[in-house]
């Protein structure tokens, strides 16, 4: 915590207006600085957070890499040199090469794995963003109600999160996905979200519990604000840091778990391309065609790694109280 005081990003910046010609007088330098109007530039909390994030070099690099990968997935139709299901038996089992743009090689049927990976990214990011949005929504609502109203609402909601936390997570996801998932990416996303909101609910509840005692909440109530307005206009903006960090990390977690579900055959089913399914397709011929397992896996590692670094940077930027010993 102590290094927070010396964080240069936190100190108001002293800027001299460049247009003002400063007299080169040596004797009364001190007075001159006041006379020429050195002013304290005010910054919002967001501006401070942005500065802290930009200074986190690893997080910035990760963000750039992440944006490149994710936009490649978004624009898969234009980025991929082939359609993901285009069969080309004359070029089956080609190793990774620049020729014909088979960067990640081709499989037994001659389908281009680079294109399949790019389309897989598209599916993965779609699922992951639905999961993050939905679980954040549920988590914030549950946590806010529990923390703000307390008593029986708190008890009920916290018992509900206890329930989800006692279950073996991956196994329950597999079960629900196998019986209810139907191989659809949207169903899988909803199932994931229904189990991912608990951590956030606890965090939000914690901050609401302490924030509801603050003077500004009392002031808002005295001014006649209703409960909903106090919760979402006054308290929520002050609790937003951990929420954003958590949502970021959930994107990474969702990509990992969805890949595992699809790999085991209980997640997204063909013809929709999914990164986990690509790996399990390559599994049987892995000893001949190593690239079929290696590249989709490396793609997942790279995406999740970048997301975790960005999440780390966001934590330092938005949530300085939870700042861990700098890695």
Partner 1 sequence: MFTFILRRLLYSIPVLFAASFLIFVSVSAVGNPLSELRLNPLISEQTLQNIAERKHLDDPIPVRYVYWLKEAVTDKFGTPLFVQTPIWDDLTRVIPHTLQLVIVAELLALLIGILIGVYSAIRQYSVFDYTATMASFLGFAMPVFWLALMLQILFTELFLRTGTRVFYTSGLNSVDNTCTFCVDRAQHLAIPVMTLAVLSIAQYSRYMRASMLEVINSDYIRTARAKGLSEPKVTVRHALRNALIPVVTVSAINFGVLIGGAVITETIFGLDGMGPYFINNLQSQDVYPVMAWLMITATMIIIFNLIADITYGFLDPRIRYE
Q: Does 27 bind partner 1 (CB under 8 A)?
A: no
Q: Does 242 bind partner 1 (CB under 8 A)?
A: no
Question: Residue 104: helix, strand or coil by DSSP?
Answer: coil
Q: Does 259 bind partner 1 (CB under 8 A)?
A: yes
- Min CB(240)–partner 1 separation in Å: 25
Q: Does 287 bind partner 1 (CB under 8 A)?
A: yes
CB atoms within 10 A of CB 181: 24
> DSSP characters for 19-71?
TSPPP--STTHHHHHHHTT-EEPP--HHHHHHHHHHH-HHHHHHHHHHHHHHH
- Min CB(187)–partner 1 separation in Å: 12
Residue pointed to by tokens 């909601």: 157
Peptide bond just before 271 cis, omega within 30 deg: yes
Tell me, by CB under 8 A, how many residues bind partner 1.
Answer: 43
Q: Does 1 bind partner 1 (CB under 8 A)?
A: no
DSSP code, position 215: H
Choices 38-46, 78-86, 95-103, 290-298; region in contact with partner 1 by CB under 8 A: 290-298
Nearer to partner 1, 242 or 252 (CB): 252
CB atoms within 10 A of CB 171: 9
**φ and ψ of 108, to 5 deg:** -60, -35
- In the shown chain, the binding pattern of residues 104 to 143 toward partner 1, with x for contact by CB under 8 A and - for none, equals ----------------------------------------
Q: Does 313 bind partner 1 (CB under 8 A)?
A: no
Q: Whole-angstrom Cα distance, residue 74 to residue 72?
A: 5
Extended beta strands in the chain, E state? 14-15, 39-40
- 61, 96, 264, 320: which one contacts partner 1 (CB under 8 A)? 264
Find the distance separating the first CA and the last CA of the chain, reported in whole Å: 14
Q: Does 162 bind partner 1 (CB under 8 A)?
A: yes
- Min CB(179)–partner 1 separation in Å: 5
Q: Does 285 bind partner 1 (CB under 8 A)?
A: no
- 175, 184, 225, 238: which one contacts partner 1 (CB under 8 A)? 175
> DSSP characters for 161-181?
HHHHHHS-HHHHHHHHIIIII
Which residues of the chain form contacts with partner 1 (CB under 8 A)? 159, 162-163, 166-172, 174-176, 178-180, 252, 256, 259-260, 263-266, 276, 279, 283, 286-287, 290, 293-294, 297, 300-302, 304-305, 308-309, 324-325, 327
């Amino acid at each position: 915590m102590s290094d927070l005081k010396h964080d240069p990003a936190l100190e108001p910046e002293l800027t001299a207006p460049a247009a003002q010609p400063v007299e080169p007088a040596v004797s009364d330098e001190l007075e001159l600085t006041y006379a020429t109007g050195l002013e304290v530039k005010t910054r919002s909390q967001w501006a401070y957070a942005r500065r802290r994030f930009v200074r986190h070099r690893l997080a910035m690099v990760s963000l750039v890499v992440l944006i490149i990968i994710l936009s490649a997935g978004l624009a898969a139709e234009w980025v991929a040199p082939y359609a993901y299901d285009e069969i080309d038996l004359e070029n089956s089992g080609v190793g990774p090469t620049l020729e014909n743009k088979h960067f990640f090689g081709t499989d037994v049927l001659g389908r281009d794995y680079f294109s399949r990976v790019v389309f897989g990214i598209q599916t993965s990011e779609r699922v992951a963003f639905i999961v993050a949005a939905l679980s954040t929504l549920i988590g914030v609502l549950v946590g806010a109600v529990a923390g703000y109203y307390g008593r029986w609402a708190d008890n009920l909601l916290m018992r509900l999160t206890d329930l989800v936390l006692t279950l073996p997570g991956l196994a329950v996801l597999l079960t629900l996905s196998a019986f209810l998932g139907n191989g659809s990416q949207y169903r899988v996303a909803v199932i994931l979200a229904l189990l991912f909101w608990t951590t956030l609910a606890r965090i939000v509840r914690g901050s609401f519990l302490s924030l509801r005692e603050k003077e500004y909440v009392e002031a808002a109530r005295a001014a006649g604000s209703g409960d909903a307005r106090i919760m979402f206009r006054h308290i929520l903006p002050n609790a937003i840091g951990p929420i954003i960090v958590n949502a970021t990390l959930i994107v990474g977690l969702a990509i990992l778990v969805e890949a595992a579900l699809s790999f085991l055959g209980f997640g997204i089913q063909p013809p929709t391309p999914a990164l986990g399914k690509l790996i399990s397709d390559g599994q049987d011929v892995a000893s001949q065609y190593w690239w079929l397992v290696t590249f989709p896996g490396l793609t997942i590692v790279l995406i999740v790694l970048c997301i975790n670094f960005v999440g780390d940077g966001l934590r330092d930027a938005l949530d300085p109280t939870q700042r861990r010993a700098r890695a």
